[in-house]
Amino acid sequence: MKLPVIKHLTQFIADNDEDYVVETIETLEALTEVPSLKDEELDVIGELISNMYGAIEVHKMEKDGTPRKEALNSFMGRVMGSIDR
């Protein structure tokens, strides 16, 4: 996951609508089922999907009243904590 990408997508959601990102995730998930995709291509799609889910989570925290910077740090802390397990 890349924090700058998540920040950018979070701003996109705030400026537009979360539904755009949700629909994009659904499209990318459908693409992962194409049998001819190479592992590298699947990795890129997976990274994009992960960043989009991250942005949705950060946006939800913001809607609950958490300042963006704190929401981003909290989310990334959870991600790093789950990796360390």
Tell me how far apart the alpha carbons of residues 62 and 75 are, in angstroms, rounded to a whole number. Answer: 11
For residue range 14-39, list pLDDT tens digits in order. 999 999 999 999 999 999 999 999 99
Residues of the chain above pLDDT 90, percent: 82
Question: Given this model, what pLDDT does residue 25 score?
Answer: 98
Question: Given this model, what pLDDT does residue 4 score?
Answer: 93
Tell me how far apart the alpha carbons of residues 83 and 32 are, in angstroms, rounded to a whole number. Answer: 23
Tell me how far apart the alpha carbons of residues 8 and 71 are, in angstroms, rounded to a whole number. Answer: 14
For residue range 66-76, list pLDDT tens digits in order. 999 999 999 98
- Token output for 50: 């992960």
For residues 9 and 62, is the Cβ–Cβ distance under 8 A? no
How many CB atoms are closer than 10 A to CB 54? 23
Tell me how far apart the alpha carbons of residues 65 and 49 are, in angstroms, rounded to a whole number. Answer: 25
Whole-structure pTM value: 0.88
